[in-house]
Structure 1
Amino acid sequence: MTTTTTHDPIQNPTGPRKSDRLIPWYFVGGFAVMLIANICLIVFSQTSWVGLVSDHAFEDGNNYNTAIADAKAQSELGWRTKISVAGVIDNEATIIVLFRDKTQSPISGAKMEAVLMRNDRDDVDEKIMLSEVSPGEYRTRASVPVYGNWKLRIVAHAQNHDYQVVEDVLITQ
């Protein structure tokens, strides 16, 4: 009894298969995708807000005890402000600050400035001086290029003392 087995003859390739020639290009494509993703992340990181709260963080840290002492002295003065932002017309708002002492008497003759800041961008921050329009009432007009949440920092110097307060304000049309 004889058995005959038939099997496919083994192909003797004379070179690489067509699909084998694409393998290096798979690597090139993978690196290209990674390169494009990295370039997108770099561009985004360079054009977005940096998130810095202070440009002088080291100095602020070194002067922390002085800042605490100033805050205590300000608290002992008992001065208060009532801040309102109104009259928004054509991206301009009126900032009104009522400045009072412990007994709710108006504080006149203060040198007062306001800094209008956005939390998400620093290119629209604006520093403006306020003028006294009546005893203890200070006003100014400010450019508001973007509506929404703003931080308003008021810095006043009166009666040889400094006073500052930061409030969140919502500016709408």
Structure 2
Amino acid sequence: MQKSAWRFFPLAIVVFLLTVVAVDGGMIFAAVHSFPGAADDHAFDTGNKYNEILENAARQAKLGWQLNVKVVSNDLEVTLTDQNGEVLPAASVEAVATHPVGPAQPTRFAFTPQGSRYVARSALPTPGQWDLGLTASVGDIKYIATRRVVVQ
């Protein structure tokens, strides 16, 4: 009696399904690890301005400025340095703080220069994580950065 080729059919189905699971798993892994975590309510408009966004980022990178933020007893302290590590004393620094999750609760505030730092006193009203949209200006030059801070 001849053996039927159909005896491999269950094995073929299992191999096919394992292949589908492996491909889907790879796609899920790639999607999760490549997602930048940014959600935009105006994704289409942002996509249309992508070249402009890249040009602004290159312009800022060419400046070589560094902006560091610390939370010291609910006060925000910003240090702004140029490409040589020298403090930029004549800058105007402003920020908008929002919660990254849940109600945004936007809070605007300005920083006052104090020595080599810029300080905003009692800037953040509640504990938790905050995203700071910072704008530093020196003359006609603007530097825009986003930093996340945690208030205890």
TM-score bucket (shorter structure):
0.5 to 0.7
1:66 has 2:52 as partner: yes
For residues 52 and 103 of structure 2, the distance between their equivalents in structure 1, rounded to whole angstroms, comes to 26
In structure 2, the partner of 1:94 is 75
- Listed as ranges, the matches of 1:128-167 within 5 Å are 128-134=109-115, 136-141=116-121, 142-145=123-126, 147-167=127-147
In structure 1, the gaps of 5 or more residues are 1-51, 88-92
Which residues of 2 match residues 47-86 of structure 1 at below 5 A? Answer: 53-86=39-72
Per the TM alignment, residue 113 of structure 1 is displaced from its structure 2 partner at its CA by 0.7
CA contact (8 A) 2:98 2:104 kept: no
Normalising by structure 2, what TM-score?
Answer: 0.66
Within 5 A, what are the aligned runs for 1:34-45?
none
- Listed as ranges, the gaps of 5+ residues in structure 2 are 1-37
C-alpha offsets along residues 34-92 of structure 1, whole Å, 9 cap, x if unaligned? xxxxxxxxxxxxxxxxxx944544432222211110100111111001210111xxxxx
CA offsets per residue over residues 129-151 of structure 1, 9 Å max, x none?
111122x4111121322x22221
**In structure 2, what is the equivalent of residue 46 of structure 1?**
none
Q: CA RMSD in A?
A: 1.9
Structure 1 counterpart of 2:144, one-letter code: Q
Q: Is the 8 A contact 2:99 2:129 kept in 1?
A: yes
1:99-132 Cα shifts (integer Å, max 9, x gaps): 1001111112212111211111234221211111
Aligned residues between the structures:
114
1:113 to 94, 104, 128: 94
DSSP-derived class of the 2:147 partner: strand
Identical-residue share of aligned pairs (%): 25
TM-score after normalising by structure 1: 0.59
What amino acid is aligned across from residue 153 of structure 1 in structure 2? G
Q: Measure, in 1, the Cα distance between the counterparts of 2:40 and 2:135.
A: 17
Cross-structure match for 2:103: 122
Distance 1:59 1:129 in 2: 29
